[in-house]
Amino acid sequence: MGKCVIFCAAEFDALARPLEPEDYVIAADGGLIHTQTLGIAPNEILGDFDSLGYLPCGARVFPVEKDDTDAMLAIRRGLSMGYREFLLYGSLDGPRLDHTVANFQALQFLCGRGAFGYLVGKNTLVTVLQNGWLEFPAGTQGLISVFCMGPDALGVTEEGLKYALDKATLTHGFPLGASNHFTGQPARIQVEQGSLLILWDRANGFPRRSEALC
């Protein structure tokens, strides 16, 4: 099965992966502008359209006063269709910090439902890892930061980075994992119990991951 690719309203400059024929593309509110700019015909358009400012033809329209953000509406839609891998463009570099934090929580929402996702920014990729591992290949450079997402994260191991951890505990009250560095060696991040919010340079691409554990 392909990926659910969601375009949100914040800024970004290019696709991080080519779209595949089996991918399902959702334009969430102002994300429609990005699909139009890129010449992409979304499979679905949804949202409350307070950002876009008009109602596109054929869109699924939701009230402004609702519990879900437009990104979460799109995530729920993708999950209902059976998708388990999500890419959210325009989800990091907007003027609304509250929406960025909401998108961090949306990644945790996906992990809690047997799925996983990535926020794609202009310079950064973000994911949540739950009870599993990520691996980056040799030659990877730049920064990576790892934060506890929620209750304490137990059995955290970081290998191939400048600052290593071996079955450590990360807490949500202290940013021990901020600003680590790739060394050019193969790198692995693992958490035995709990969730990690992980951010790294977009130029390094997407890691291998234990999908079945997230």
Q: What are phi and psi of 193, to 5 degrees?
A: -150, 120
Q: Is the pLDDT of residue 39 over 90?
A: yes
Q: Are strands 133-136 and 124-130 parallel, antiparallel or unpaired?
A: unpaired
Q: What is the mean pLDDT of the chain?
A: 94
| Dist CA 206 CA 214 (whole Å) | 16
Q: Is the pLDDT of residue 212 over 60?
A: no
Say if residues 172 and 135 touch (Cβ distance below 8 Å): no
Q: Which domains does the chain have, with CATH numbers?
A: 4-122 (3.40.50.10240), 129-213 (3.40.50.10240)
Tokens of 67: 């519990």
Q: Is 153 exposed, middle or buried (CB count within 10 Å of its CB: 0-12, 13-18, 19+)?
A: buried
pLDDT in tens, 144-176: 999 999 899 999 999 999 999 999 999 999 999
Residue 94: what pLDDT?
A: 86
The mean pLDDT value for 182-197 works out to 97
pLDDT category, 109, cuts 50, 70, 90?
Answer: very high
Closest CA to 181 of 136, 127, 117, 114: 136
Check residues 12 and 159 and name the one with the higher pLDDT: 159
